[in-house]
Amino acid sequence: MTEQARSPWQLAIGIFVAKRLHRLGLWVVAVVVLLAVYAPFLAGETALVWWHDGFSLPILADLFNRRSYPKPHDLLFNVVAVVLPFLILGWRLWRADGWRKLRWSVVIVIVACAACLVPCIPRSGTSWQALWSDRPTTARTSLTAAALQEAGTVSTPAWLLPPIPHRSDATYQGALLKAPGERYAATGARFWLGTDAQGHDVAALMLHGARISLTVGLLATGLSLLIGLIIGAVSGYFGGWVDLLLQRVVEIMMCFPTFILVLAVVAMTSRDIFIIMLVLGLTGWADIARLVRGEFLAQAVRDYVVAAEAMGLPRWRIMFRHILPNTAAPLLITATFGIAGAIGIEAGLAFLGLGDPTVASWGGLLNQGRENIRYAWLIYTPGLAIFVLVLVLNLIGNGLREALDPRAQR
């Protein structure tokens, strides 16, 4: 495809990925997302594979067990963990241009379907029972590390545990503030990044804490974008008294420091992680509204908008079908910076002790490091993760700004 035949978005993407630093940033974000999505497969007490009176994959049954994953965001990530391979394979099948690519995609699809169906097959006349059920458990349905060791002395079953055989929400007695690399006496498994003051495995906390950071960043930014887009679009397109009234509301919101406002609201309400996300989304839309208003003011006088109005198209269609796509570039850049900002604010709240105590959080782990200053792994591990993720997101945002701004390419 020649450069003249490429669309502006394709040209911008080509400019963005041409720089090695931008590609590295995308890879870092992709690795963090994959670690968050497949955290239960990397850190947990549920066996990945179990062979005893039949083959089974207990991890797939445990993914949708509310006792193991009570928070809705965990359910969302677990669904993505199951669906993501099918989405990738579907994309490969759609782009397959020969039998060589197609046959491997078909084989992987068959294997993935079989893996998902195995836990649903009844065994010995009974259906599969997930971990942490109210019913009495057997060695096959209680596949923690300790139960596996005990079962191994009875009938020598075969199993495969995650690389980190510890749960993020489990406290291990006698394992308080263990240094990185030390073993747990009960199971012999290593704490690769040490433990915290409550006996949690830091490596497991880091993996599941990535879920919180990504969830807060995406949902809070998405809510801010939605509110800011609607207010900015209405204000910029209609103008007049509507613009005057809405901009006064925007200016009032901009007068309040976001972090201080979030602190006040969270202190007066609840420390639930979804309350924090809601507050971040409801308080971070003012700048987006000003940006969208400016873009709509510039686009509303263009010829294509005048032509659409002359044809009698509904105003909502002109706003969101014709003008909005031409403002997508600055919104994409703003969203990238917004995700980084939301992650930093959530980590700051948890660092100050105002985060959700029922979820794994990088900021909460950093708060423990502040209280236990001599144990360096509680400081550098979450601090480095927050620094790298926020830095990479800002780097990607700057790269998108350079690639999507025609004036920066001169």
- Tens digits of per-residue pLDDT, 288-314? 999 999 989 888 888 888 888 888 888
Would you list the DSSP string of 243-299?
A: HHHHHHHHHHHHHS-HHHHHHHHHHHS---HHHHHHHHHHHS-HHHHHHHHHHHHHH
Average pLDDT on 275-299 reads: 89
**CATH 1.10.3720.10 residue spans of the chain:** 205-409
The token duo for 246 is: 């809405």
Between CA 210 and CA 199 the distance in angstroms is 19
CA angle centred on 264, ends 258 and 269, rounded to 5°: 120
Residue whose token pair is 């060791």: 149
Number of residues that make up the chain: 410
Edge-to-edge strand ranges of the sheet holding 158-160: 55-56, 49-51, 158-160
Grade residue 29 by pLDDT with cuts at 50, 70 and 90: very high
Q: Is 51 left (phi over 0), alpha (psi -120 to 50) or beta?
A: beta
> CB neighbours of 136 closer than 8 A, spacing ≥ 6?
none
Q: Examine the pLDDT at 62 and tell me if it is beyond 70.
A: yes
Average pLDDT on 226-247 reads: 90
CATH of the structural domain 205-409, one choice from 1.10.3720.10, 3.60.40.10, 1.10.10.60, 2.40.128.640: 1.10.3720.10
**End-to-end distance of the chain based on CA atoms, in angstroms?**
23
Nearest of 377, 294, 393, 385 to residue 338 by alpha carbon: 393
* Chain center to CA of 92: 24
Grade residue 120 by pLDDT with cuts at 50, 70 and 90: very low
